């Protein structure tokens, strides 16, 4: 039997749900029950009734699903698929900061470990970061770990003092304004959409800035016939399905998160067959991390 057919069969047999981020391989997106960005996937993980959640994304995403579903089995097809940005913040450093600066509220991007979430006041994703910061009474905010998303929020939200952690996504950071200008010159009729994880000089050249799902929604409605995509290439798989009439150009040719690409169909099949690799989060850490994630999910 073909690998994809076997995945579908096992999924039914085991009452499993497959959640996939836009950055994983197209074949996995096609076999998944739901494809979304971090916020949508966190909401789906909270709503599911399945016995097993197979999370096709990087580790922090599967960990978030586990934190929200302590009594369900959560699997990630490859446990070494991590997020390079998430590794740029550790809980001890945040705790030290909080002790020295008790007047700050800590807003943590979901691209972080459960340990870091556990010592934060509230989480956010790239889709709701502005709303989350605005929802807080505190005037002083520490934004962890993405300095680019944090600086974007700081530009938009007035009346808050936002201190930035020094993390970033190497995949989005790699896109330079020079490269964008070159691609724009080659495609003068194209619109340029960008993820807020890109640096400010790149965002300043954009026609639209948004999380992955916000980019998808923008493209659905656009009149443009050419779009330069300033985020991970996997997103183009969904964009092409939605708008076969539009030409999509990656903002740079290797706009690829290698970590996301560690999730392959073969590993997904093994995950379902062997029920591996199970994600575990220490119950005490999970309790505190859940508070920060659920507080985020309450902000609409
Ligand atoms: P989204 O919030 O758009 O899902 O972004 C997640 C991510 O890892 C981007 O690099
Ligand atoms: Fe992490 Fe960047 Fe990969 Fe997103 S694209 S998962 S932020 S390394």
Residues 131 and 97 in one domain: yes
Residues 187 and 57 in one domain: no
List the helix and strand counts (H, then E) for the chain.
15, 12
Count of structural domains within the chain: 3
| Ligand 1 and 214: CB distance under 6 A | no
Q: Which DSSP string do the residues of 83-112 spell out, in sequence order?
A: -TTGGG--HHHHHHHHHH-TTEEEEEESSS
Residues 161 and 207 in one domain: no
Confidence bin at 36 (pLDDT 50/70/90): very high
| Ligand 2 and 4: CB distance under 6 A | no
Please state the atom number of ligand 1 nearest to the C-alpha of residue 212. Answer: 3
> What is residue 251's DSSP assignment?
S
* Domain contains 181: yes
Confidence bin at 98 (pLDDT 50/70/90): very high
Q: Of 38, 84, 232, which is best to mutate to test ligand 2, by the most ligand atoms within 8 angstroms of its C-beta?
A: 84
196 Cα to the center of ligand 2, angstroms = 12
Compute the distance between CA of residue 115 and CA of residue 298 in angstroms, rounded to an integer: 21
Q: Which DSSP string do the residues of 268-298 spell out, in sequence order?
A: HHHHHHHT-PBP---HHHHHHHHHHHHHHHH
Given its phi and psi angles, is residue 63 left (phi above 0), alpha (psi -120 to 50 degrees) or beta?
alpha
* Domain contains 49: yes
Residues 197 and 229 in one domain: yes
Residues 144 and 275 in one domain: no
Residues 161 and 292 in one domain: yes
Q: Does residue 203 contact residue 177 with C-beta atoms inside 8 Å?
A: no
* Domain contains 37: yes
Compute the distance between CA of residue 190 and CA of residue 202 in angstroms, rounded to an integer: 16
Specify the residue for token string 């304004």: 177
pLDDT greater than 90 at residue 193: yes
Residues 33 and 62 in one domain: yes
* Domain contains 209: yes
Predicted pLDDT of residue 186 = 98
Six token digits for residue 214: 């916000």
Q: CATH number of the domain that 227 lies in?
A: 3.40.50.10800
* Domain contains 144: yes
Side-chain-side CA neighbours of 223 within 13 Å: the count stands at 0
Q: Between 212 and 300, where is the model more confident? A: 212
pLDDT greater than 90 at residue 87: yes
Percent of the chain with pLDDT over 70: 100
**Structural domain range at position 292:** 85-168+288-298
Compute the distance between CA of residue 198 and CA of residue 148 in angstroms, rounded to an integer: 6
Residues 95 and 228 in one domain: no
* Domain contains 255: no
pLDDT tens digits, one per residue of 219-263: 999 999 999 999 999 999 999 999 999 999 999 999 999 999 999
Residues 204 and 132 in one domain: no
Side-chain-side CA neighbours of 64 within 13 Å: the count stands at 35
Side-chain-side CA neighbours of 61 within 13 Å: the count stands at 36
Residues 242 and 197 in one domain: yes
Residues 109 and 147 in one domain: yes
Confidence bin at 1 (pLDDT 50/70/90): confident
246 Cα to the center of ligand 2, angstroms = 26
Residues 99 and 238 in one domain: no
Q: φ, ψ for residue 13 (rounded to 5)? A: -55, -40
Closest ligand relative to 195 C-alpha: 1
Specify the residue for token string 């994880």: 197
Predicted pLDDT of residue 249 = 98
């Amino acid at each position: 039997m073909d690998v994809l057919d076997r995945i579908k069969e096992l999924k039914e047999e085991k009452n499993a749900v497959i959640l996939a981020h836009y950055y994983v391989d197209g074949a996995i997106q096609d076999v998944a029950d739901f494809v979304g960005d971090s916020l949508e996937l966190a909401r789906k993980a909270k709503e599911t009734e399945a016995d097993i959640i197979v999370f096709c994304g990087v580790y922090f995403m599967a960990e978030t699903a586990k934190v929200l579903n302590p009594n369900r089995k959560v699997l990630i097809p490859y446990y070494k698929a991590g997020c390079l940005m998430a590794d740029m913040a550790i809980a001890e450093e945040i705790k030290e900061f909080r002790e020295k600066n008790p007047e700050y509220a800590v807003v943590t991007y979901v691209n972080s470990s459960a340990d870091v979430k556990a010592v934060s006041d509230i989480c956010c994703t790239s889709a709701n970061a502005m709303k989350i910061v605005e929802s807080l009474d505190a005037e002083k905010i520490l934004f962890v770990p993405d300095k680019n998303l944090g600086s974007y929020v700081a530009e938009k939200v007035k009346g808050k003092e936002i201190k930035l952690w020094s993390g970033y996504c190497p995949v989005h950071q790699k896109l330079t304004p020079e490269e964008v200008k070159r691609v724009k010159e080659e495609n003068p009729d194209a619109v340029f959409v960008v993820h807020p994880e890109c640096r400010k000089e790149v965002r300043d050249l954009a026609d639209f800035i948004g999380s992955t799902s916000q980019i998808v929604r923008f493209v659905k409605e656009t009149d443009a016939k050419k779009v330069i995509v300033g985020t991970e290439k996997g997103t183009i798989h969904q964009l092409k399905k939605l708008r076969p009439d539009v030409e999509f150009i990656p903002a740079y040719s290797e706009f690829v998160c290698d970590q996301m690409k560690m999730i392959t169909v073969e590993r997904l099949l093994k995950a379902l067959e062997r029920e591996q690799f199970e994600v575990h989060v220490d119950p005490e850490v999970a309790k505190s991390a859940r508070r920060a994630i659920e507080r985020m999910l309450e902000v609409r």
